Structure 1
């Protein structure tokens, strides 16, 4: 009998479509600090490794740019003020989460987005269904290190053999492998089916209904 009763989710590109607000925030900072303007599709290719890497990939000369630190601070301030402008759960996600909760699953979020934003978004969108959310902080290694996943397990009081990981990127596939738990990849987020296959996805789903069924079958 399966003991997998815990689903740990990535946030951006898995639960929330946040691409427009991320793009707007990057472009605000680029305009202020002399960088180019990006489309959503261009930012889509840069996300997944946290905001420090996002700004590094977006700002000319990356971390060597003398404005890098100032740009990082400005991004966090602007994004915190505007992260709800366009962001919303993907269609069908809320129903899927409620179904999982009704079936007795423990739910958590782990993300490479900075921790204050992750906790705020959990509260705004998922407060009655997901109790735990872990983001990037100086005291915990970000994904693909398994540390945020293990922290979520501790807060939920579950073991790795109880858990399934769900994400939309190669970073999520690597994170699940490093945590020693199975991964279900979703293709409605920031990476394509082909990209996920090329990066070792063992199982890919295309709708939240498929996702609930895949989780239930593990």
Structure 2
């Protein structure tokens, strides 16, 4: 293997979470009598954490208190419903087992809030993903490097031996800020054309191809 460790984004890279994110977003909006958003709109809103998701989802000019109330309602709803339709992308479990069998360390860095990241990784991947880090107080979200640095430290590897894998422009910038090479995947929330336009240096189309690249 070319790398000692692989750091993955979660949503759109390992797990297809879009339907559950959209459903919780729309339940929160409906609860506060705000207009719903389409699946494609929510697809464009994700990537910078749930606060940005809700700020993008509420109508422009929405009162700050109402926006924050909607955010808290979303968080509670999502913790209940985040398993409804979410599942690993085809081939991901096999990929993680291959990495484990080759003594490659793996971790997750996500802008999703930390409790949800840990619970989803534990439920879907068990011991295949021993390090899972999400949004937390005192650390800047991606594309800042803070969470990646925490993951590298927990994995116990040198950054020079790590690679970052993600599906978005946020991930490309995160890897650059952390000084890591980035492999972008085309099966997630952003298209191949979008990734190319945002500076992707390598785009991978299947988990099988990703393993070969690693």
TM-score normalised by the shorter chain: which range applies?
A: over 0.9
Q: Please provide the CA RMSD for this pair.
A: 1.2
Which residue in 2 is equivalent to 1:116? 115
Which residue in 1 is equivalent to 2:60? 61
1:1-218 matches, cutoff 5 A: 2=2, 4-61=3-60, 64-215=63-214
Q: What SS does the aligned partner of 2:127 have?
A: coil
How many Å apart are 1:116 and its aligned residue? 0.4
Answer whether contact 1:55 1:62 (CA < 8 A) is retained.
no
How many Å apart are 1:64 and its aligned residue? 3.8
Q: Distance in 2 between matches of 1:37 and 1:70?
A: 16
The number of aligned residues is 214
Q: What SS does the aligned partner of 1:152 have?
A: helix
Deviations 1:106-144 (A, max 9, x none): 000000000000010111011121100000012211000
Q: Distance in 2 between matches of 1:152 and 1:125?
A: 19
Question: Where does the alignment leave 5 or more consecutive residues of structure 1 unmatched?
Answer: none
Q: What SS does the aligned partner of 1:45 have?
A: helix
Q: Distance in 2 between matches of 1:177 and 1:169?
A: 13
How many Å apart are 1:159 and its aligned residue? 1.3
Describe the shift of the 1:24–1:104 C-alpha distance in structure 2 as closer, same or farther (beyond 3 A): same
Answer whether contact 1:26 1:55 (CA < 8 A) is retained.
yes
How many Å apart are 1:27 and its aligned residue? 0.2
**TM-score, normalising length from structure 1?**
0.95
**TM-score, normalising length from structure 2?**
0.97
Question: Where does the alignment leave 5 or more consecutive residues of structure 2 unmatched?
Answer: none
